[in-house]
Structure 1
Amino acid sequence: MHQRSRGLLTGLLLIALAIGLTLLMGVVRARAPLGFLWSGSNLALQQQSQASTQTPHLLNGKLASLGWIVGRDCQRGLQAYLQTADINPDAALVGSGWVNPLTGQLMNGESNNCQPGTLSMDNVVRLIHSKGGKAYLTVTMETDATGWTAQQQSDYIKAATQQPAYIQAIVNVVKQGNYDGVIMDLEGADRTYPHIQQLFADYNRLVWKALQALHKPYGIALIHKVADQDDYYNLNGFENWSLLGRCADFIVIMSLDQSYITPGPTVSVPWLKQILAYALKTMPQMLPRIVWEFPLYGARWHLAGGQWIFDGGLNYSDAVALVKSIPAAQIDQQASNLNDPYAAHLVYTDSAGVTHAVWYHTAENLLRIIREFRDILKGTPQFQSAQAFLQIAVWYRATWEPGTLWRSLLPVLPNAGA
């Protein structure tokens, strides 16, 4: 579902290899040198620190929710957006900010289908503005099997800290597209690249400074972490939350894709609490400025040789259709629960004798998770002192999502900043 961690599903396949290498070679620790390399950074840090007790105005809608619209699925994204634009008009766009690491230039996605005859998403930005919403440019890079490599993304990050034209390329697209802000969503850098954590922080600080000159908010999307070196370290090791928490106006945490090695939910309350604990340890000042990203999809697995094999993401409507198609005689009733309050799940054995597991979230599941997590956040000193409120993002808006979620969320996630 994600080139997100669009690279994440592809990158997850590297985890098994990383585990094997770890057993042979021991744990490799990536240590980036601390300290700031750019003049004026102390002033920027001071300004950020002074503003950290205030929740920034990121969204205009009645609902404190930001939905992604993806260029390759733009028509369905627009249909879903229009169904709730009266309460949920804000969106982030993936399709106009693809980075070419060899030139530093941004490109339109090759599969954008927002309007006939062009790959532009300008019409989507205009639509969002006509509904009173804010439109965020998502800067990303394709690093899956058909895209750029982790080495190339890392080289780009390093080059961008040395070549102002690379930063200017982002500014140009923001101006040309009339975007209201930027979300940096690079996810495929090599954690073993020399000083990559510091380089990535320096890069983000430069983009942030450029956006400050335009008076537009800048955010960084971070792959979930529960420890400095957790099970996803092969993917998230290039990100240092302590450094990055001082390089943006706000942070988006990808609280999704929780389960991979064994069947389970794409997000859960206990897991959110772990991510929250790590955020409080590494960037507590940013807690009121975090947007928590939730999945609108599930995942599936099958058993082979006694091991669960990840089969990829599964969107909500397809999950519902699949469940309806499974004969009752094939279902493992003890291992299945479609009425679980947090995640519907089904285990079944097909006619060929292969066992499958499907997990997905209903609107009721997501509502419960978000409501309980909101209450947990309210109990933190950072939220109490800043009079903050929970803001979420969702990956991604399309007609397959559990559409009844949004209006049910209104009493749970009112946009106090609107």
Structure 2
Amino acid sequence: MLISEIIRKKRDKQVLSAEELSELVQSVADGRASDAQVAAFAMAAWLNGLTPDETAALTLEMRDTGDVFRWPDLPGPVVDKHSTGGVGDNVSLMLAPILAACGAYVPMISGRGLGHTGGTLDKMDAIPGYISQPDNALFDRVVRDVGCAIIGQTAALAPADKRLYAIRDVTATVESIPLITASILSKKLAAGLEGLVMDVKFGNGAFMAEFSQAQDLARSIQKVAKLAGLPCHALLTDMNEPLADAAGNAMETQNAIEFLTGARRTERLDQVVTGLCAQMLILAGVEGDQAAARARVTQVLDSGAAAEVFARMVTALGGPTDLLERSDTHLPEAPIVRDVTAQASGFVTGIQARDVGLSVVELGGGRRKASDRIDPAVGLSRLAPVGQSVSKGDVIAFVHAANDADADVAIANLRAAYVIGEEAPPERPLIRDILT
């Protein structure tokens, strides 16, 4: 079967068979398909789309190009969540240990940041000694012993997806709902999940700016997940401002530790963490309704059980044994810390979250391309939320930078990203919809 003929068929808006998609995916994985052919297929799929059946077949074939974990003997449900990305989105660091403390198992395979969005794996790499890409044996052992493990996609997990995504990233074909769906689900299915909850973002800091686009993506993922045998719920959440009040890898890790230990929990972050965890407990059958699920989340947080699971996971994957007690000595700190002050009195009426994320990139805490090295110490903290009342000269954020010149640029960028008006803005629902 010629790869060029498969590409021609999709170019001409025809539906590909499962056999044709199998041949295509295998050729992507083993190198028989050239980069040009992979790019041509991606563009044909971007222009002409894929049916749900095509997307499901593509997903399962990409899953099966590498290792697939199975957990038949675990005493609890195997679950996970996936976020479509945003700014200050450190939810995974709290969600995995919370669910594990509730009796679920979370083999979380996460990604790195690219562009203005942060990556869970980069946050974990801010912890000294943490092995974010362990071998399969260690991953398996930590999931079984601790209840969760947050790791990165290795070369042995869905390698066809890894190659296809890298080519999509440089050929303007990332924004394809079927290809996004297949990429997400192939990795989640390779992790051996029994249930998945999606956090699909919309707004000025999200990959999908419009709510309708986020709905389309969420429904596509749910439909294909169902065809692939994976129960999936989705929350559609607002990303018109940073989720946590921190952005940057060590900043967000510290923020997560404060959340888990109860030292400090901001309202917006608490809403999304609790909402996602509760939905996961319902999907997995651990709890029967929202009230019971939310109460369970609160219980494992307030008792310290979730924080204890996080600490055990970090230690089991090579990190320090006293991270929760001495995070200030373990997490890297930037040499320059400067405040950002409001230029007028009034209310924060809007924040360009994407520009906040790009400020972190400019500081050196993010990537312009996948091969870029990042500085985990730089970033932003104590970001004032939309709706906060401020007086001229009040501190609306802190910049953590490697040098004064970088700090000056970040301060200017952050001031430009904040809109201060005379009247308080109307409240927006943070969780706009739940699709079950």
TM-score, normalised relative to structure 1: 0.31
TM-score, normalised relative to structure 2: 0.30
